């Protein structure tokens, strides 16, 4: 921050002392060893020959700090005489070949995990390659390639493959049955960055869903075997006005996800689903960070045991268990205060206090379900974050959530990266 201030001061003095326009005569990047300079050159909006603009330089710096390959960035301006200036962006790179893991337990003895490996800066162009293995009663795996700037500094592609198999509870007539659920398919997404704060993603997915009865209740209205080919169209819009400074975040982000899922089977009929995550971060003093996420979601309100919104440890309520309920609407608030206990050259230890709360609309129900005691869940808890400042997303988290509402449980959730 001090070097950025000096750069601003030098820039203002230069403008005051010369009658000529200040021009960007040369543009360079220092510290970019694994990231290609020509990629960074294409990404920033400041170009050689342009009038020197401190506001645009600041915007470029914030954009660079959002890249997975960049831990921190700042710029300097060096006057070269005759109104010409050399601009240098200083890059502190992240290590970007990262293993990841998500593990959780609950009070009823459930245990599941997902492990994988991701490279976030493939070919030095911030392309993400990743693959994972998951154990959740059954074995699953998947792979991803995401290249947001494949064609230009605004346009890219993402391709995903997944073969997920889990033991899923299905709820009907106040009873529960367990099914072996498999979801296998491909997804292709087009990525478009309209400007610094606004991004769109548009995609299509072809997949197969397979339900096979394992144990529990049986109903003549609920099939014990289902195998359905489906297709999905998806639109994502994200507004991002968050400022990043190592582990600290400040600002607002919103992500809207709209989907149409087509099907030819009346037991798994077509439906529309949409949800929006409103996320707000605020710095508290020098070491505090208050983080909040509000999710509002609705889907086609069909009376089906296979409703799309779930109550789950790894998605919305820490400590609640693995897919303990389903609904056709969701209101979820996650709020936590993160406080830095240790901040060394490369290592950070954070403690956090959180409250996860939510409610769901029953399949075929009405909006009054959101106020039903059976649907409301509130889980306060405590956690720790072990952070490596020079490795992208190298945040090992452990949270313990304890339910205080009706039929509550408790459990520990481990993972890589902040919960939200």
- How does pLDDT run across 327-370, given as a tens digit for each residue? 999 999 999 999 999 999 889 999 999 999 999 999 999 999 99
Backbone phi, then psi, for 271, in 5-degree steps? -155, 165
Residues 286 and 331 in one domain: yes
Residues 211 and 274 in one domain: yes
- Of the pLDDT bands very low, low, confident and very high (cuts 50, 70, 90), residue 4 is low
Residues 75 and 101 in one domain: no
Backbone phi, then psi, for 297, in 5-degree steps? -145, 145
- Of the pLDDT bands very low, low, confident and very high (cuts 50, 70, 90), residue 20 is low
Residues 405 and 261 in one domain: yes
What CATH code is carried by the domain that includes residue 353? 2.40.160.50
Residues 23 and 153 in one domain: no
User: Which of 67, 93, 119 corresponds to the end of one domain?
Assistant: 93
pLDDT digits (tens, 9 = 90+) for 42-57: 999 999 999 999 899 9
- Give me the number of domains the chain comprises: 2
Q: What is the pLDDT of residue 119?
A: 95
Is 415 a residue whose pLDDT tops 70?
A: yes
Q: Rounded distance, CA 343 to CA 349, Å?
A: 7
Residues 259 and 240 in one domain: yes
Is 105 a residue whose pLDDT tops 80?
A: no
- pTM for this entry: 0.81
Residue 220 domain boundaries: 97-416
Q: Which of 197-211, 250-264, 282-296, 383-397 has the lowest mean pLDDT?
A: 383-397
Residues 18 and 129 in one domain: no
Q: For residues 387-396, give the mean pLDDT.
A: 87
Residues 222 and 76 in one domain: no
Q: What is the pLDDT of residue 393?
A: 81
Residues 187 and 316 in one domain: yes
pLDDT digits (tens, 9 = 90+) for 68-104: 999 899 999 999 888 899 999 999 999 999 888 777 6
Residues 249 and 382 in one domain: yes
Percent of the chain scoring above 90 in pLDDT:
70
Q: What is the pLDDT of residue 173?
A: 76
């Amino acid at each position: 921050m001090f070097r950025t201030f000096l750069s601003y001061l030098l820039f203002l003095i230069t403008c005051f002392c010369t009658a000529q326009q200040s021009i960007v005569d040369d543009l360079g990047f220092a510290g970019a060893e694994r990231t290609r300079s020509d990629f960074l050159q294409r990404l920033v909006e400041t170009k050689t020959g342009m009038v020197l603009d401190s506001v645009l330089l600041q915007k470029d710096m914030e954009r660079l700090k959002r890249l997975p390959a960049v831990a921190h960035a700042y710029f300097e301006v060096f006057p070269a005489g005759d109104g010409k200036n050399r601009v240098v962006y200083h890059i502190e790179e992240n290590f970007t070949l990262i293993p990841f893991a998500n593990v959780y337990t609950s009070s009823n003895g459930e245990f599941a995990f997902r492990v994988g490996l991701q490279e976030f800066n493939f070919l030095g162009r911030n392309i993400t390659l990743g693959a994972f293995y998951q154990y959740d009663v059954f074995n699953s795996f998947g792979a991803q390639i995401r290249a947001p700037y494949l064609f230009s500094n605004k346009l890219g592609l993402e391709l995903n493959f997944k073969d997920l198999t889990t033991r899923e509870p299905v709820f009907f007539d106040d009873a529960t049955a367990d099914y072996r659920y498999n979801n296998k398919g491909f997804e292709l997404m087009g990525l478009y960055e309209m400007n610094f704060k606004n991004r769109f993603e548009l995609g299509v997915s072809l997949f197969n869903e397979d339900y096979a009865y394992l144990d529990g209740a049986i109903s003549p209205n609920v099939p014990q075997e289902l195998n359905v080919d489906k297709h999905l169209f998806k639109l994502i819009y994200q507004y991002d006005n968050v400022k990043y400074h190592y582990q600290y975040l400040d600002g607002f982000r919103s992500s809207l996800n709209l989907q149409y899922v087509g099907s030819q089977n009346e037991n798994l009929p077509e439906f529309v689903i949409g949800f929006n995550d409103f996320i707000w971060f605020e710095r508290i003093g020098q070491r505090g960070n208050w983080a909040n996420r509000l999710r509002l979601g609705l889907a086609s309100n069909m009376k089906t045991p296979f409703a799309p919104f779930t109550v789950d440890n790894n998605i919305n309520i820490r400590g609640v268990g693995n897919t303990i309920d389903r609904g056709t609407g969701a209101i979820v608030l996650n709020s936590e205060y993160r406080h830095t206990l240790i901040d060394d050259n490369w290592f950070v230890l954070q403690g956090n206090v959180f409250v996860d709360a939510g409610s769901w609309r029953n399949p075929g129900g009405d909006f009054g379900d959101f106020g039903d005691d059976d649907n409301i869940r509130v889980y306060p808890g405590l956690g720790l974050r072990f952070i490596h400042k020079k490795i992208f997303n190298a945040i090992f988290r452990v949270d313990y959530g304890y339910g205080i509402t009706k039929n509550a449980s408790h459990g520990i959730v481990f993972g890589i990266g902040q919960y939200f």
